Amino acid sequence: MISRRLVRVKVLQSLYAWNRTTDVQDVNPFKSDLLDRIDQTHEMYLFLLDLPYVLQNYALEKKEKEQSKYYPDSAKVRKFSLLEGTSLAKKIHEQLLIQPTTSRFDWNELELSFGEWYNQLYEWDFAQDYGIFLEPNTQQQHEFIENLFYVFLETQEAFNNLLEEIYPAWTSDSQFIVKELAKTINAFPEDIKVSISKPTTQKSEEVLLAVRLLEETIENSEKYDSLIASVTQNWDPSRIATMDLLIIKLALTEFLYCPEIPLKVTINEYLEITKDYSSQNSSKFVNGIMDKLRIDLSNKGEIHKSGRGLK
C-alpha cells in the first residue's frame, strides 16, 4: 500500500534520526527503524479500517442494555439501532481478524471516547438519512462508511489529535492512509467481499527502494557534502538547514543510484516534500541546488538513467 512519496518521507524521517546520532557507524539500527515506520503505517490503516465495526459494536451493546430495562427508552433504542443493518462493517472486521499482522494499536484503549464519537455520528445528516433504511443495501452501506471515514478523518480535529497521540506519525501519514482507506472502500464489489491491502515485505519494490535510499545516502553523505559545496558558492553545507540538506542528499541518491527514476520526478517529489517538511522559504533554495547539481552531474556524465523519458 505504501507509495513512493511515502517511501521518501519515511526515509527522510529515519535520516533525520541518523543525523542526530552521527557517531553511530552501523546503519542497521536505522534500517530497522525505517522498516518499522513502514510497518506502522500499514498497522494504522488496518486499525482505522475497523472503526465502523467498533462504533457498531458499541451501539449494539448500548441497545441491548437499554432494552434490558423494565421501561426502555424507545428513542435510545432507535438511536443505537443505526448501524445494526451494516453487515459490511462486520465483513471488514472478520477480514481483519485473519490478517497476519500483529498491531500495536488497540481500540479498547480508546473506549472512553466511543460514546462521544457515536453521538457525533448520529447527529450528522448523512447518518440521519442512513437511519431511514431498515435493511440498507450494498451501495447504501458503501456510501455510509465512505462518509463516516470522510467526516471523522477530514473534518474532526479532536479525532485526528487523538490519533496523533497514539501514532505520532499520523500527521505525515494521514493523507496516504486516508487515500488507501478510500481505495479499499471503493473496491467493494456487489458481494461485499472485502479486499484489504497487504503489508509490504522486505522483498517488495517499495521497501527495497526505501532501504537503497537510506543506505546510499548515509554511505555517501560526506561525498554529497562536497558536491553541494561545489554548487553553493560561499555557502558552507553546515549552514544549510538540516532538513533541506537531507532532502538534497536524498535527491542526489536518486540522481546517481536510482536509474529507473526520472530526474524530473525526483526534483518534483522532493520539492513537494520540502514544502511539507521544511521552512516556508526552503523550496526555492532546494530547487535551485537540485537543479545545479543535476546540470553539473549530467555534464560530467555521472548520471545514468535507463529507459525512455527518464532524463
Q: How many domains does the chain have?
A: 2
Residue 204 lies in a domain: no
Residue 215 lies in a domain: no
| Residue 307 confidence (pLDDT) | 62
**Residue-wise pLDDT tens digits, 133-163:** 989 998 899 999 999 999 999 999 999 999 9
Residue 51 lies in a domain: yes
State which of 186, 211, 239 marks the end of a domain.
Answer: 186
Q: Do residues 160 and 293 share a domain?
A: no
CA-wise closest residue to 169 among 180, 179, 177, 158: 177
| Residue 280 confidence (pLDDT) | 80
Number of residues in the chain: 311
Give the pLDDT band (50/70/90) at residue 235: low
- Residue 273 Cα to chain centre, angstroms: 14
Q: Do residues 53 and 174 share a domain?
A: yes
Burial grade of 193 (CB within 10 A; 0-12, 13-18, 19 or more): exposed
Domain that holds residue 79: 40-186
The arithmetic mean of pLDDT across residues 203-221, rounded, is 94
Q: Do residues 278 and 232 share a domain?
A: yes
Q: Do residues 310 and 227 share a domain?
A: yes
Residue 79 lies in a domain: yes
Q: Do residues 146 and 59 share a domain?
A: yes
Q: Do residues 243 and 174 share a domain?
A: no
CA-wise closest residue to 192 among 120, 136, 130, 133: 136
State which of 167, 186, 205 marks the end of a domain.
Answer: 186
Give the pLDDT band (50/70/90) at residue 173: very high
Q: Which amino acid is at 249?
A: K
pLDDT at 192 over 60: no
**Residue-wise pLDDT tens digits, 28-49:** 999 999 999 999 999 999 999 9
Q: From CA 210, how far away is CA 204, in angstroms rounded?
A: 10
Residue 83 lies in a domain: yes
| Residue 232 confidence (pLDDT) | 85
| Residue 124 confidence (pLDDT) | 96
State which of 186, 208, 243 marks the end of a domain.
Answer: 186
The arithmetic mean of pLDDT across residues 248-269, rounded, is 96
Considering just the CA atoms, what is the radius of gyration of the chain in Å?
A: 24
| Residue 183 confidence (pLDDT) | 86
| Residue 102 confidence (pLDDT) | 77
Prediction pTM value? 0.88
Q: Do residues 168 and 272 share a domain?
A: no
- Helix, coil or strand: residue 235: coil
End-to-end CA distance of the chain: 27
The three cell numbers locating residue 193: 467481499
CA-wise closest residue to 25 among 257, 227, 221, 240: 221
Q: Do residues 307 and 232 share a domain?
A: yes
| Residue 117 confidence (pLDDT) | 97
Q: Count the Cβ atoms, other than its own, within 10 Å of residue 42.
A: 21
Q: 254: domain CATH number?
A: 1.10.940.10
pLDDT at 189 over 80: no
pLDDT, averaged across the chain: 90
Residue 210 lies in a domain: no
Q: From CA 51, how far away is CA 61, in angstroms rounded?
A: 16
pLDDT at 267 over 90: yes
| Phi, psi values for residue 258, rounded to 5° | -130, 80
26-30, 123-127, 241-245: range with lowest mean pLDDT: 26-30
Q: Do residues 54 and 179 share a domain?
A: yes
279 contacts 18 by C-beta, under 8 angstroms? no
